[in-house]
Structure 1
Amino acid sequence: MSKVLVLNASYEPLNITSWRRAIVLVIKGKAEQVEHNGRFIYPEMPLPTVIRLRNYVRVPYKEIPLTRRNILQRDDHTCQYCGLSGDGLTLDHVVPRSRGGGDKWDNIVTACVRCNVKKGNRTPREASMPLRNPPRRPHSSLYFEVTRQVKSGTHAEWKKYVIGV
């Protein structure tokens, strides 16, 4: 039916769960409903889209791996220079490796082959090719799934609870 965003007591996104699990947490008093979509399970029980845990849960920090797949997903499979989307995209170092640019989240973007070749061994400023979105490290591993849900329009109400979407 629908997915539900689970927030920590501090309103930090923790997880995405099923609507059934969310209802159980609300009924047991472990969570409170923050947002609903106007649909009802029972006359007094709206279907939640966002719930917040009543007690704070400590979550250990987990590093998001720098992989081709994660970079493509972060950049929405779109060239960060011209906006072309689809297959055949490459990864480009904003500051070329030959100039000291490393393999870091804030130095790699998705680029089409044409733009990657055109930029060559220069910075975007030198090539007069401004970036559409500056590269950055995703805030959490949950970021990718929440971004996909928000951009598809399925759960636009989640946007206010997630940084950087």
Structure 2
Amino acid sequence: MRETLVLNASFEPLSTVTLRRAVVLVLQDKAVVEQAHPGLRIRASAVELPVPQVIRLCRYVRVPFRRQAPWSRRGVLVRDRHRCAYCGRRATTVDHLLPRSRGGADSWLNTVAACSEDNGRKADRTPEQAGMRLISGPFEPTPSQTLLLALGVSGRERLPDWLPVTA
């Protein structure tokens, strides 16, 4: 199952958590289930509750405004949907367009997902020096795009029931 969306007490999306963490928050009365998987329930000796898709915190959590999503290797792989930017096969590593050894930074615009073969073939060179073309270029996702990508929502997939449809 996918991760569970966590809403602030004001219903603004905060993050995603594992199903286990969501259940713990609900059992500790720190959150309530706003939307559950239809027909699925978690049962224990003394408790039974629906499997949460969306939970809402009972107390408001103040979150500092973020203009940029923080960079991470996992974030780059998720952003690029685990597809190699050079050949389109399954990506397992992150490649720096300007290698770190030459001053390249760990940033959204300097990194792409890559398969290990293409990452090794490019080595310590730029794509132009290695004669390799990018199928898809890097971009900097907004914090809200990062949250949707982490949830696995793309234009080609069915939207989760809890996600409002905007026209």
The normalised TM-score by structure 2 is 0.52
Q: Deviations over 1:83-116 (max 9, x none)?
A: 11155x56131x678x986442222112344486
Q: How many residues align?
A: 143
Unmatched 5+ residue regions in structure 1? Answer: none
Alignment of 1:147-162 (within 5 A): 147=150, 150=152, 157=160, 160=163
Structure 2 partner of 1:85 = 90
Structure 2 partner of 1:14 = 15
Supply the AA of the counterpart residue of 2:5. Answer: L
Unmatched 5+ residue regions in structure 2? Answer: 44-48, 154-158
Query: Is the CA contact (8 Å cut-off) linking 1:37 and 1:48 kept in structure 2?
Result: yes
Aligned sequence identity (%): 29
Counterpart secondary structure, 1:157: coil
Counterpart secondary structure, 1:50: strand
State yes or no: 1:48 paired with 2:52. yes
> Structure 1 residue 4: deviation in Å?
3.4
Supply the AA of the counterpart residue of 2:152. Answer: V
Counterpart secondary structure, 2:88: coil
**Cα separation, 2, equivalents of 1:4 and 1:72:** 20
Alignment of 1:57-68 (within 5 A): 57-60=61-64, 64=70, 66-67=72-73
Q: 1:31 to 1:83 in 2, by over 3 A?
A: same
